[in-house]
Structure 1
Amino acid sequence: MNIKITGTGCYIPDTIEKNDAFSNHQFLNNDGSPINSPNEVIIEKFKAITGIAERRYAKNHLNSSDLGAFAAENAINNANIDPETLDYIIVAHNFGDVKHGTIQSDMLPSLASRIKHNLRINNPKCVAYDILFGCPGWIEGVIQAKAFIKAGLAKRCLVIGTETLSRVVDKHDRDSMIFSDGAGATIIEATNDEGGILAHETASYTSDEAYFLHFGNSNNPELNKDTRYIKMEGRKIYEFALNKVPQAMKTCLDTSGKNIKEVKKIFIHQANEKMDEAILKRFYRLYRTEIPENIMPMSIQKLGNSSVATVPTLFDLVRNNKIENHSLNKGDVVIFASVGAGMHINAIVYQY
């Protein structure tokens, strides 16, 4: 028995927000003081570092649970399964449903329960629950699905990553330009086919790193002090990721028994183009080998950082030949890796 991804799906919102939409924003430093650069320069530097030219926002009437249900329906159809046969629905997110124009997160009932309801799944033995694990949440959900299946507690699981980060950003913070909305979903099940999940690695660093990403006040001191927004220590996260993620990927690959030269694709959380490129360089440096061409597909340039949704969305796009110069063939060895709030890191080695 092997544990494989038998179906994928994603939901990419229609609304495109280009960088020039931020031209009239009032960007402020953390202490509320003005940034001594025109917005054109701020945006130009932002694109040079992150690679982001545009991002996607959900329509006002849609919430994270809606996006997750759309992606899930696509994955179910792709796997050609009866949704009533699902044993678990595991939904990774960070902020629940945040309705447009409100300031409160809504996680009661869980997003997994809402998505199961939206999918009209009646089977009470299909257990639906949420996972809060920062940006690595979808990967961790896949690891949990693997554990359920391996233990004989499940045969088929639906794992979703969904987020509407556009509704929790401080528009006076330059980091607001990074975040976006979207959802990705996968069907994980036991099969007799070759390959599947070969190894995984997970770690949580909480001594000094726990609050690198957190909820905090707006950079604008005149706004309501009781309203919180997503905040991050960008430099600290960058250094943390470069120090921890490549080694986790190496440990995972070594555990799998596969050789570095067998790896065909690396799907890294789409947080920052320069950071992902630096992670890739350090990873291959650990093996003292050159980086192959077309090893790391990227979607951040057009889709931005949708947190838990980036990796499953990217995987679905490559599976469906929607990213230029990237495709997958049966037997290909790939790595999934992520880093995010907590601070958590994880990786999976998978044979397609």
Structure 2
Amino acid sequence: MSRYSTLLGTGGYLPETILTNDQIAQTVETSDAWIVERTGIRQRRIAAPHETASSMAEIAARQALDAAGLEPGDLDLIIVATGTPDRIFPSTACLLQQRLGVRECASFDVQAACSGFIFALSVADQFIRAGSARRALVVGSEVYSRIVDWSDRATCVLFGDGAGAAVIGVSDQPGLLSTHIHSDGQYQNLLYAPNPANNNGLRDEGRFLKMEGNEVFKIAVNTLGRIVDETLEANGLDKSDIDWLVPHQANIRIITATAKKLRMPMARVVVTIENQGNTSAASIPLALNEAIRDGRIRRGQTVLMEAFGAGFAWGSALLRY
């Protein structure tokens, strides 16, 4: 019997605190109009002091398990995608495992920045197809507010906090049709977050995220166009066969460029960036969860998810929900 992965349930969590563009404009030289025009963002959520990647992941994970009709003990694999872990080690996945009261199932983190959820989903899919797991929890959880320089106009307007989760399980019918992941480390200095505890003899890079926004934008648009073509070709599909695009929520201009590549109207693109900002590895599962729960994405529809992030690392996942 062939083994495939299928999506069983999703969940999400956003912190209560809302930070608007007007509030940011009180501390740096910017405006609501400037931010909206260039990014599509109007507000973002900011984690409370007691909240962490693992605590937010727990809330999203329990929602996803409830939606799947499962208990934490039914899991045999937990993967967390995060660039803002609670600790360097143990993994945030192990901390989440403890929060869920699960013991012994494999739990580990994946670090692929904004593409982290796609990478983690791809890994979980391989475990299930190989027969090494039957039910996997995949979570993207980020607290970027703690690695952003709030005096840097170029980056502080972009990011927000949150967590999204998905539970996938084994099926004899294709659900997760394919995943495609790529990386190219030659661009590492265009978007990165330093580790202030270990600079390995390099210059002191501080503690905040660094980004060359214009360069990242240009490469992202071209690269995402290629991953769309790769995904469609691998599955023998036409652009018209895609019902929904669920993109990483980095910039509305990147999202609209990808939709144009697919000849897809924006009404069939799930966009959350306006009220959430860029939540990195959490953005795709948060958007997917929102569109499933509000009834836009329905069973039997074909969903394309794609992301681009630091590394550079980029990828896609094609889902028949």
TM normalised by structure 2 equals 0.92
One-letter code aligned to 1:292: P
Cα 1:293/1:303, change in 2 over 3 Å: closer
| Equivalent position of 2:288 in the other structure | 315
Match of 1:141 among 107, 120, 129: 120
| Equivalent position of 1:113 in the other structure | 94
**Pairwise CA distance, 1:258:** 2.3
Cα 1:44/1:146, change in 2 over 3 Å: same
One-letter code aligned to 1:341: A
**Pairwise CA distance, 1:328:** 1.6
Structure 2, gaps ≥5 residues long: 196-203
The question of 1:342 aligning with 2:308 is answered: no
| Equivalent position of 1:47 in the other structure | 36
Q: Distance in 2 between matches of 1:133 and 1:291?
A: 27
One-letter code aligned to 1:95: T
Could you give the per-residue CA deviations for residues 123-178 of structure 1, whole angstroms, max 9, x where no partner exists? x1x11101111111111111001101111111111000000001111011111111
Match of 2:164 among 181, 184, 193: 184
Q: Distance in 2 between matches of 1:147 and 1:2?
A: 9
**Pairwise CA distance, 1:216:** 5.8
- Structural mapping, 1:1-352, within 5 Å: 1-26=3-28, 38-40=29-31, 43-97=32-86, 106-122=87-103, 124=104, 126-174=105-153, 175-192=155-172, 194-207=173-186, 209-215=187-193, 227-281=206-260, 283-284=261-262, 290-292=263-265, 294-321=267-294, 327-352=296-321
Partners of 1:71 and 1:183 within 8 A in 2: yes
Could you give the per-residue CA deviations for residues 302-339 of structure 1, whole angstroms, max 9, x where no partner exists? 01111000000000000011xxxx70222111100000
Q: Distance in 1 between matches of 2:58 and 2:113?
A: 20
Partners of 2:35 and 2:42 within 8 A in 1: no
- Structure 1 or 2, whichever has the larger Rg, is 1
One-letter code aligned to 2:30: N
Q: Distance in 2 between matches of 1:154 and 1:309?
A: 23
How many percent of aligned residue pairs carry the same amino acid? Answer: 31
Q: Which has the higher helix share?
A: 2
Q: Distance in 2 between matches of 1:87 and 1:111?
A: 16
Q: Distance in 2 between matches of 1:216 and 1:149?
A: 34
Q: Distance in 2 between matches of 1:334 and 1:259?
A: 13
TM normalised by structure 1 equals 0.85
Q: Please identify runs of 4+ aligned residues in structure 1 that moved more than 2 A.
A: 290-293
Partners of 1:135 and 1:307 within 8 A in 2: yes
Q: What do you get for the CA RMSD once the two structures are aligned?
A: 1.6
SS of corresponding position for 1:294: helix
